[in-house]
Structure 1
C-alpha cells in the first residue's frame, strides 16, 4: 500500500492545511494523546462498541499495519497537531476495502473527515481497490452525511437494524 515515508499536503474545503502520512512504529504516544481528544460518542462510532478509552492493544493494532492490505493515515493540522486518523483495510484480493475515520473533537466541522475520506478513496483507487465501504452506526448521521457527500450509497447492514453499510464504487 502506501510508502510509509510519503507525506501528502491537502487542504480542506474550509481552507485548513493538512499534512497526511502513514502511521509509523513510534506513533503510539501520539495516538494515545490523539484519542484522549476524541469525543466518547465518536470513539463508540469508530469502534462500534462502548469504548471510552482506546487500549494499548488497539493502538498497537493501528501501528502494526502491513502497509499492503492495511494502512493507517494520520492527518496533522499546522504540520504538528494530529487531528484525524483514517484506517483502510482491504481483502486479500484488494477488491474491497473498509475505511474508518475519526476526527478530534475540537477539529470537527472543519472539512477534515471529508478531505481525509476523499484522500483515502483516491489512494484505494490507485492500488486497485474496486469498492470502498464503511460500517456505520445508524446514529452516526454526521459521518453518513460526509460519506453521501463523497459519493457513497447507504444500505442496511444484514440483520442488524442499528448499522448501515456505506459503499462507493471506485472503478
Structure 2
C-alpha cells in the first residue's frame, strides 16, 4: 500500500488567518461577480476571437479562481502559531526580532510569520526566508551567522518580543 504524502501546513498568526479569510470573502462575494459582469459585457462586443476585453476578463477570472483555490488550501491547512511553550527571549515564528549586522550596521526589526502573511515592506518576513531560518531558535544577546544568497552575514540579536 502506498503511503500518502504529508499535507503541507501553512503556519500563520490569528491576524494573518483573519486577513486571508477577509480576502477570500471579498473574492467570492464581490470580485467574482464583478468579473462575470465584465465577461457578459465583453461578449456583447461581438467576435470573441478578436475581443481583447473578453480575453482580459477571462484572464482575470482565471486569476481570481486560482487565488480562491490557493487561499482555501492555505486556510484548510492553517497551523495557528502558539508561542506559549517557547522562552520569552527565544526567536520563533510569530515573534518580532531586532538585530544588527556586525560590525556596525543599523538595527533592523522584523516579525517572523508564515509565508502566507509575509510582507517585507511592512517588516513581516517569511519563516522560509534565509534570515528567519538563521534566527529561529536563537536567543536574545546571541551572535548568529546567517547564510544568505548574498553571502554569510553575522548578526547580534538585540531584542525579541511576542
Fold-level similarity (TM above 0.5): no
TM-score by length of 1: 0.22
Q: Decide which structure has greater helix share.
A: 2
TM-score when normalising by structure 2: 0.23
CA radius of gyration, larger in: 2
